Amino acid sequence: MAYIVDMRSDTVTKPTKAMKQAMVNSALGDDVYHEDPTVNALENKIATLLGKQAALFVPSGTMSNLIAIMVHCNKRGSEVIAGELSHIFRYEVGGAAHLAGVMLSNLPNEPDGTFDLKALERRFRGSDIHEPVTSLVAIENTHNVCGGKVLPLKWVDSLSELCQKHNIPIHMDGARLFNACEYLKESPARLVRDCASVSVCLSKGLAAPVGSALVGSYHFIEQARRVRKMLGGGMRQAGVLAAAAVVALDEVVPRLALDHKRAQVLAKVIEGLFLPSFKVDPASQHTNLVLVRIPGESSLTADRVVERLAQVSLSETQGDCKTPNDEGVILKVIQFDAKTIRFTLHVDITDEDLWLAIMKVTYVFKEMDAAAKSK
Ligand SMILES: *Cc1c(COP(=O)(O)O)cnc(C)c1O
């Protein structure tokens, strides 16, 4: 059997031993009655951590963002403005339109995950009878499609000022908020200071098995609790899941720096191969995601590279790319677009896994670059 290194996403992380222990020993109750002590503890812990009044444990990040949109935009036909590369716009199945009756308007994202604030201000509307009412601005931190970029704090502060002036709340999709905190060496409370609501994934890099937390004021969370029930997200003895998330906050958050370091190592190795077909930019890589881009002029496509990394060739097992058991390495990564591949570092990738991934990438990238050249 080939050795598998799974760098597709930080969602593939499995709960640690301590998490499983906590799950077995968790005190439970019916969370819809607000009687699950472990869920209550998690909600209090994360609200405090983010400097907000209250939190709600929800089944997924997608539901968390949708609930936020439904609470902030409780009039049908109102508008959310988000970046065109945001998860909310791209990867949440149009739930805002389908389920909330809310329209998503988008602004072009800059490569750093921000958008132009002057352009944003021109887009605010609602004073004219013909217009939908802009009711929310959504930002993403870290920004996934932009390669795990951390939004500059100064930009977030300027955005807040602008939104306050127009009385429009900000929702932060902070699926990887703790990665952003690690990079900036700032507290989560500081990063979300001016956001009316924040969604944080517990099951990505934090390695809890299931769930996200939605955080905001008492009043906001009270309404969010009703919406969660409506969407079918009222879970009963959810403490069995929350228990793992409590451990994740204590145990896994402090080690995120290691994922960032390893992502840098991987990017620098790829950069050091100097292959025309594969470009990385370690200097602008902030966190645990590594984007590899294939230049437009190359005949290679991301899907072929992803496929090749997941295969073991005969020559690899015959000593060209030695692995511990001589059966080769399968490296799982994902295609981001036709010319972009994403590698994700996470808690289940050890130093040995990283080393094996580096050997595999080096072998395959050289092979594919040479083949692309000879065409
Ligand atoms: C993963 C992710 C989500 C959604 O999380 P799910 O739990 O998979 O629904 C939302 N936003 C961003 C930026 C994400 O990366």
The 3-class secondary structure across 74-109, one letter per residue, is CCCCCEEEEECCCHHHHCCCCHHHHHHCCEEEEECC
d(CA 2, ligand 1 centre) in Å: 30
What is the predicted pLDDT for the residue at 324? 65
What is the predicted pLDDT for the residue at 259? 98
Instruction: Strands of 204-337 (E only): list them.
Output: 212-216, 289-293, 329-332, 334-337
Burial of 140 (0-12, 13-18, 19+ CB in 10 A): buried
Whether residue 278 is predicted with pLDDT greater than 80 in this model: the reply is yes
d(CA 204, ligand 1 centre) in Å: 8
Distances (CA, A) of 74 to 24, 121, 150: 39, 22, 30
Rounded to whole angstroms, the Cα distance separating 99 from 96 reads: 6
pLDDT tens column, 167-215: 999 999 999 999 999 999 999 999 999 999 999 999 999 999 999 999 9
Whether residue 47 is predicted with pLDDT greater than 90 in this model: the reply is yes
Q: Are the CB atoms for 185 and 257 separated by under 8 Å?
A: no
Q: Are the CB atoms for 331 and 310 separated by under 8 Å?
A: yes
- Any idea which of 85-89, 146-150, 316-320 has the lowest mean pLDDT? 316-320
* CB within 8 Å of 270: residues ≥ 6 apart: 278, 280, 290, 292, 361, 365
Rounded to whole angstroms, the Cα distance separating 340 from 304 reads: 11
Q: Are the CB atoms for 357 and 266 separated by under 8 Å?
A: yes
Q: What pairs with residue 331 in β-bridges?
A: 5
Atom 8 (ligand 1) nearest CA: 61
What is the predicted pLDDT for the residue at 320? 65
Distance between first and last Cα of the chain = 33
What is the predicted pLDDT for the residue at 318? 78
Q: Are the CB atoms for 136 and 81 separated by under 8 Å?
A: yes
d(CA 212, ligand 1 centre) in Å: 9
pLDDT mean across residues, the chain: 96
CA nearest 118: which of 148, 90, 155, 91? 155
Q: Are the CB atoms for 64 and 94 separated by under 8 Å?
A: no
ω before 142 within 30° of 0 (cis)? yes
d(CA 369, ligand 1 centre) in Å: 33
Q: Is residue 145 helix, strand or coil?
A: coil
Rounded to whole angstroms, the Cα distance separating 261 from 249 reads: 20
- Residue position matching structure tokens 């998503």: 104
Average the pLDDT over 254-268 and give the result: 98
What is the predicted pLDDT for the residue at 325? 66
Q: What pairs with residue 4 in β-bridges?
A: 330
pLDDT tens column, 360-375: 999 999 999 999 877 6
What is the predicted pLDDT for the residue at 314? 85
What is the predicted pLDDT for the residue at 370? 94
Identify residue 15 by its one-letter amino acid code.
P
Pocket of ligand 1 (CB under 6 A): 60-62, 87, 140, 144, 173, 175, 201, 212
What is the predicted pLDDT for the residue at 68? 98
- Residue position matching structure tokens 């990867």: 91
Atom 6 (ligand 1) nearest CA: 61
Whether residue 261 is predicted with pLDDT greater than 90 in this model: the reply is yes
What is the predicted pLDDT for the residue at 322? 64
What is the predicted pLDDT for the residue at 208? 96
Query: pLDDT confidence of 1, banded at 50, 70, 90?
Result: confident
**Candidates 93, 201, 202, 342: which one to mutate for ligand 1, based on the most atoms within 8 Å of Cβ?**
201
Q: Is residue 234 helix, strand or coil?
A: coil
Q: Where is 201: in which H helix or E strand?
A: strand 197-201
Half-sphere exposure of 106 (CA within 13 A, CB side): 14
For ligand 1, what atom is nearest to the CA of residue 211? 7
Q: Are the CB atoms for 21 and 250 separated by under 8 Å?
A: no
Is this structure's pTM higher than 0.85? yes
d(CA 238, ligand 1 centre) in Å: 20
What is the predicted pLDDT for the residue at 317? 81
Q: What is the pairing mode between strands 54-58 and 334-337?
A: unpaired
pLDDT tens column, 321-355: 666 667 899 999 999 999 999 999 999 999 999 99
What is the predicted pLDDT for the residue at 374? 73
Distances (CA, A) of 353 to 4, 150, 151, 226, 344: 9, 26, 30, 44, 12
pLDDT tens column, 86-107: 999 999 999 999 999 999 999 9
CA nearest 207: which of 255, 150, 267? 255
